[in-house]
Amino acid sequence: MSRFQLRATPPGGDTQYREGRAGVRYSCGTSWSTLLADLSTPYQDDAWDLDTLLIHGWSEPNADGAIVPPIHPASTFIRSHIDDAARYQYARRANPTRDALESLLAGLEHGESASAFSSGMAAISAVLQLLSAGDRAVVGYDSYLSTYHLFTNDLPRYGVEADFVDLSDLEAVHAAIKPNTRLIWIETPTNPLLDIVDLKALAEIASGIGALSVVDNTLASPYCQNPLDHGVDLVVHSTTKYLGGHSDLLGGAVTSNSEELALRMADRQSHLGAIPSPFDSWLLMRGIRTLGVRMRRQMANAQAVAEWLDDDPRVVRVFYPGLSDHPRHELAHAQMPGGFGAMVSFEIRGGSEAARLVSQRTALFRLATSLGGVESLVFPPTAWLETDPELMAAIPKSPWAHHPGLNRLSIGIESDDDLINDLDRALG
């Protein structure tokens, strides 16, 4: 993992260097070749295990010996002269704390660049601005609801249309492709039915037609899955979820291995202005440090809860790729080497009203949206959807709308016995 040095000469001072991952970002008026100049000795070791990278992957230690990255709150930076091409000029374009975060994010996804955003939807919106009027996208019909809304309500106003298909059906994907298809939007595992789609196959289809492949990797996290390794062009995250891990920040990220895409995403980041604050960047880095230990505990709990639910006669069906009878368990095992994630969904008899009652009877599982935190959450998506008939009518193709007794669980790090006992009482 090569790193580069960015020169900045403060007034009256010697030339200093800022460390950053090669290809992370660019500053106003600075060429790519300039940013990649002065390659230094790699600090990140290619042989490091992920757990080590989580702790040490943000940058080299500071000159003052601080063991954690500092917070740089400055909104603007002093220039030595008017044509100073220093890395840091205005915080919307570049900030040392955000640079450290982006270096870490790129490493976690096995990428050469990362751009951090103020939310997952900000990151998604930035990626979709790569499309132009007249373009089309092939999108999973079970995509995240806010993403679905962008494709159905917002992008058509700018001349961009979408074709929604079951991405696990490669024949259906091929059939949906049109001469102006420019993007395939992928989520795996899907939310909330936790289906798995073939990343390598979809990336190859996109590449074969000259389209971009984009994966929302939020539910898997980089701990479980690295889509860039399968040939995907861009990886999107809501860093609010597993990467942050404590339900106390909003954030998003886009990573890639493409120099051109890195430049375009950095441009979108700067001109849209949806950047994380220095404090949120620092808070996210702090959360990432414990990603490994959190994910291992959460996945162990998820496996235990899924197996218990699968054996319970009150439960109609369990959705979890870690179960051997999941229809795409083997595919999940192959492309998720870090584990099957920590989301579990299950369906009970009695429809949406029964699902609603279960979600209101739990004590440890708190009724709330979002996911990925250390605390366990429960949410009945179809019961919630039925409270908004207009929204229900707007997404008729979404498969989870046809599972009225569904509850989605975001598994935390509590005792698995306590979590199971809580569900047992709630099921009645």
Active site residue 90: no
Tokens of 96: 């040392």
According to DSSP, the residues that pair with 185 across neighbouring strands are 139, 214
Phi and psi torsions of 227, nearest 5°: -60, -30
Distance between CA 98 and CA 284 in Å, rounded? 10
Given 21, 25, 98, 241, which residue is catalytic? 241
DSSP 227: G
Given 195, 216, 233, 280, which residue is catalytic? 216
Phi and psi torsions of 222, nearest 5°: -65, -15
Q: b/e string for 226-238 if b means 16 or more Cβ within 10 A?
A: bbbebbbbbbbbb
Phi and psi torsions of 47, nearest 5°: -85, -5
215's enclosing H/E stretch is: strand 212-216
Asked whether 234 and 255 are in contact (CB, 8 A), the reply is yes
Distance between CA 258 and CA 236 in Å, rounded? 14
Asked whether 228 and 109 are in contact (CB, 8 A), the reply is yes
In sequence order, what DSSP letters do the residues of 232-254 get, joined into one string? Answer: -SEEEEETTTTTT-SS----EEE
Distance between CA 223 and CA 257 in Å, rounded? 18
Question: Which residue type occupies 304?
Answer: A
According to DSSP, the residues that pair with 347 across neighbouring strands are 317, 406
Active site residue 144: yes
Taking the CB of residue 172, how many other CB atoms lie within 10 A of it?
A: 14
Active site residue 43: no
Q: b/e string for 300-309 if b means 16 or more Cβ within 10 A?
A: ebbbbbbbbb
In sequence order, what DSSP letters do the residues of 131-188 get, joined into one string? Answer: --TT-EEEEETT--HHHHHIIIIIGGGGT-EEEEE-TT-HHHHHHH--TTEEEEEEES
Given 7, 18, 79, 92, which residue is catalytic? 92
Name the residue with tokens 């707007």: 394
Distance between CA 289 and CA 308 in Å, rounded? 31
Active site residue 296: no
Name the residue with tokens 């949806």: 274
Given 144, 148, 242, 320, which residue is catalytic? 144
Q: Which residues are catalytic?
A: 92, 144, 216, 241
